[in-house]
Structure 1
Amino acid sequence: MDTGLFTANNVWMMIATALVFFMHTGFAFLEIGLTRQKNTINILFKNIFIITGGLLLYYAFGFNLMYPGFADGDMGILKFAGFGIGAPEGGMTAAYADGGYTWWTDFLFQGMFAATAATIVSGAVAERIKISSFMIFTIVYVGLVYPIVGSWKWGGGFLDSWGFYDFAGSTLVHSVGGWAALVAIALLGGRIGKFSKDGKAKAIPGHSIPLATAGVLVLWLGWFGFNGGSVLSADPELTSLVLVTTSLAAAAGGFGAIILSTIFYKNLDLTMFLNGILGGLVGITAGADLMSPNEAVAIGFIAGLIIVLGVALIDKLKLDDPVGAVAVHLICGIWGTLAVGIFGAKAGIDQLLTQLYGVLIIGGFCVISAAIVLLILKATVGLRVSRDEELEGLDIHEHKMDAYSDFSINEN
């Protein structure tokens, strides 16, 4: 084993892990910025629960459900390697030691990914879901659904054997969260005042666009770890290429969204600009290591156009998505996955069809799983808060707290 190479790889993977962790700050800022002040505590509570609960679930059984060690001849659909993360002797296997990184680093890096899928749902259902129902859903979805899907590709399952390709998770992370978000907002219904009597969507402005902007910039930074860490080594050429394609796609996504939204709506909409950047990032994630800079720009720009069309479609369907999560993570996640068969080193009709099959299979599994869990919750504890609670804000009713003190002194 080359000790120097091993150390360099492991250090880079730990840095990437920290960057992915930092993305949760970005998600929190984005979500509270695009929603109303009266629900800030509620959204922050959900984000903190996702990180803490997601990591513990991944430790308890998620990691070994996602990487179960499928043997030759297995169908590659479901296998479980046991509870906990007891490491091999010395904290690494021979495979990890061979120029790679430690078992512990791998667990943390993958654990950060697991929490991201539930964070996507959090933004979509903001301002009207019961906190208890969201927590239960997160436990099931992050604990079971996400690692099972992940095992089909990253764990060496049947999609991997088919040749399905998803470098860093356009489908395995973003669409997995996006499908659940779509089902959840369909079952929840829109926020009070979102749709007029004639069905037209009305804007419900968020309380801090500066925070939302900071959130997107933090997410862009974190994506260097999300995609760059998915190289799974500190290989200088490939890591650098991935960071370049990631950044170019993000920039092009922002431009695509702002150009089309200006044509459609005759104004320079900052929130559409921001979601275009995120759409470009999601779009490049499946094939960031396969694309040239030119191809990355094309993928990102198309993702930006898709954002504008996707947001309009969601409104047309009378679905309420306060942060644009479905357009960003689901629709652009699908686009990014299919783009692997259109652009880059694997482009070709066979690869495109394989990518399509993967999207459909994972989509079907996620929709069915999310629907079952959410319908059970709706029939038992309920999904949505009462009208009065929604109007007055979830912070007061669910948490008995205000996010921002007025600093007034009660002298009585």
Structure 2
Amino acid sequence: MEATRTGVDVLFVLLGAIMVLAMHAGFAFLEVGTVRKKNQVNALVKIITDFAMSTLAYFLIGYAIAYGPTFLVSADQLVGKAEGAAFAANGYDLVKFFFLATFAAAIPAIISGGIAERARFWPQLIATTILVALVYPTFEGMVWGTRLGFQDFMKATFGQPFHDFAGSVVVHAVGGWIALGAVLMLGARMGRYKKDGRVVAIPPSNIPFLALGSWILCVGWFGFNVMSAQLIDAISGLVAMNSLMAMVGGILVSLLVGKNDPGFVHNGALAGLVAVCAGSDVMHPLGALATGGIAGGLFVAAFELCQNKWRIDDVLGVWALHGLCGFMGGIACGVFGQEALGGMGGVSLTAQIAGTVTGAAFALVAGLAVYGGLKASIGIRLSEEDEFMGADLAIHHIPAYPEEFASVHDTGPMAARASAKATASASRSTAIG
């Protein structure tokens, strides 16, 4: 029976890892549908290569920083067969690594949407390596592990540890606040804000792709949240119900507040899911509905303030969506998780506030430091010419839609790049003015 249970746990976590892996396709299509056509190939390549680099960095360094064990041992130890092995039987710790690696890779996937259309490719891959190897695992280990005595301090000070069941703060707020630092270091896209005070709207290039990305993320999120239990006997239908209700609340409120805007509606679903992660195992479904609704309204309001009033050119609104809604979700766990509001209890509002503020501050400082350091040393932004031409041709030498760029005499991607480069050189000054 013990062997069977272990095997079931391995399968359970593996299925969760696969569902969260699929969410990265959602990140990709959400960005593809939002950016302009000349940057769609870059969005796709960034997400998949960031995932690869994140997995490698987390395997070699990050997981050990967060939890202690290193995978640089023999295979029989990794599957728990060697004498005195530090790893569980049947390779349970290996699928747990896979599951947690998909969480870690969400950090650069979140950042990617904020810095889209003007970030250089290789510096971003270096930033991904630093963040997933060192920065994210440090806070992950503090909250989900035993690092730095953080949870012991929280319990001793506030009576309860900081509760973040599925990562409203550990993953989403941290990713969103790092992204804010990256966006501030990069600056706005060319032509986004005019010298005379006008804000130039840049609408999504493909609403169906944007919607597809949102749907993929929504479906995968039930693996993200429910399977954060990590053991089959710890699974709770309450987590699934609360995730569903928060998603619904985010959709309906963003529909109303966003005045039927499809971008707000589809991101509103994600806002609700971001916010409910922390308390999805302790809230009543009505509390989850309220949490999702607040997040949907918060996303719309923050996105418009960020883009139009504060002039922070966060392309996909990742600071509003992940940073602020994740921040709100961490605190909401301490409100709607209380027994007085129908929750399971065992949470402290003061602990939730302290833990959430710590995560956001840590992430913002890290984002400014990493991207500020790269900006000062090797540069993080495309040249004006390459930005005007688009990252697809400037970096990858092929457009998403070759028929729209091909010249009459040569239909190859290099000819398209040459044609676009010439156009960029001639038109750049007009676009910036």
Shared fold (TM-score greater than 0.5)? yes
Q: Which amino acid aligns with 1:139?
A: T
Structure 2 CA distance for aligned equivalents of residues 188 and 200 of structure 1: 20
Q: 1:116 aligned to 2:113?
A: no
Q: CA deviation at 1:10?
A: 2.0
Q: CA deviation at 1:292?
A: 1.4
What SS does structure 1 have at the residue aligned with 2:236?
helix
More displaced 10-residue stretch of structure 1: 251-260 or 278-287: 251-260
Structure 2 CA distance for aligned equivalents of residues 355 and 309 of structure 1: 23
Tell me the alpha carbon deviations over residues 236-262 of structure 1, each in whole angstroms, 9 at most, x when there is no partner: 8x4322111111101110111111122
Q: Which amino acid aligns with 2:128?
A: T
Given that 2:17 and 2:99 are in contact with CA atoms closer than 8 Å, whether structure 1 keeps it comes out as yes
Q: Which amino acid aligns with 1:217?
A: W
Tell me the alpha carbon deviations over residues 144-187 of structure 1, each in whole angstroms, 9 at most, x when there is no partner: 10001100011123332220111011110111111111011112
Could you say if the C-alpha distance between residues 405 and 350 of structure 1 is closer, same or farther in structure 2, counting changes exceeding 3 Å?
closer
Structure 2 CA distance for aligned equivalents of residues 153 and 85 of structure 1: 26
Q: CA deviation at 1:41?
A: 1.6
Match of 1:24 in 2: 24
- How many residue pairs are counted as aligned between the two chains? 392
Match of 2:46 in 1: 46
Structure 1 CA distance for aligned equivalents of residues 182 and 78 of structure 2: 44
Q: Which amino acid aligns with 1:359?
A: T
Q: CA deviation at 1:136?
A: 1.1
Match of 2:33 in 1: 33
Q: 1:243 aligned to 2:233?
A: no
Q: Any unmatched runs of 5+ in structure 2?
A: 155-160, 411-433
Residue among 92, 107, 110 paired with 1:102:
92
Given that 1:60 and 1:85 are in contact with CA atoms closer than 8 Å, whether structure 2 keeps it comes out as no
Map residues 53-64 of structure 1 onto 2, 5 A cutoff.
53-64=53-64
Structure 2 CA distance for aligned equivalents of residues 257 and 198 of structure 1: 31
Tell me the alpha carbon deviations over residues 320-355 of structure 1, each in whole angstroms, 9 at most, x when there is no partner: 111111111000000000011101247789811111
Residue among 306, 309, 313 paired with 1:314:
306
Match of 2:4 in 1: 4
Q: CA deviation at 1:50?
A: 1.1
Match of 1:219 in 2: 217
Match of 2:72 in 1: 84
Residue among 108, 118, 142 paired with 1:128:
118
Could you say if the C-alpha distance between residues 169 and 86 of structure 1 is closer, same or farther in structure 2, counting changes exceeding 3 Å?
farther
Q: 1:305 aligned to 2:297?
A: yes
Residue among 328, 335, 342 paired with 2:335:
342
What SS does structure 2 have at the residue aligned with 1:340?
helix
Structure 2 CA distance for aligned equivalents of residues 309 and 88 of structure 1: 53
Match of 1:73 in 2: none
Could you say if the C-alpha distance between residues 85 and 118 of structure 1 is closer, same or farther in structure 2, counting changes exceeding 3 Å?
farther
Match of 1:206 in 2: 204
Could you say if the C-alpha distance between residues 196 and 119 of structure 1 is closer, same or farther in structure 2, counting changes exceeding 3 Å?
same
Q: Higher helix proportion, which one?
A: 2
Structure 1 CA distance for aligned equivalents of residues 280 and 143 of structure 2: 17
TM-score (norm. length: structure 1):
0.89
Q: Which amino acid aligns with 2:350?
A: L
TM-score (norm. length: structure 2):
0.85
Given that 1:199 and 1:318 are in contact with CA atoms closer than 8 Å, whether structure 2 keeps it comes out as no
Structure 1 CA distance for aligned equivalents of residues 196 and 354 of structure 2: 38
Structure 2 CA distance for aligned equivalents of residues 409 and 205 of structure 1: 27
Root mean square deviation of aligned Cα: 2.3
What SS does structure 2 have at the residue aligned with 1:235?
helix
Structure 2 CA distance for aligned equivalents of residues 360 and 47 of structure 1: 28
Q: Which amino acid aligns with 1:326?
A: W
The share of aligned pairs that are identical, in percent, is: 35
Q: Any unmatched runs of 5+ in structure 1?
A: 69-80, 263-267
Given that 1:228 and 1:239 are in contact with CA atoms closer than 8 Å, whether structure 2 keeps it comes out as yes
What SS does structure 1 have at the residue aligned with 2:402?
coil
Given that 2:180 and 2:367 are in contact with CA atoms closer than 8 Å, whether structure 1 keeps it comes out as no
Match of 2:418 in 1: none
Residue among 382, 385, 389 paired with 1:392:
389
Structure 2 CA distance for aligned equivalents of residues 82 and 374 of structure 1: 28
Q: Which amino acid aligns with 1:335?
A: M
Q: Which amino acid aligns with 2:329?
A: G
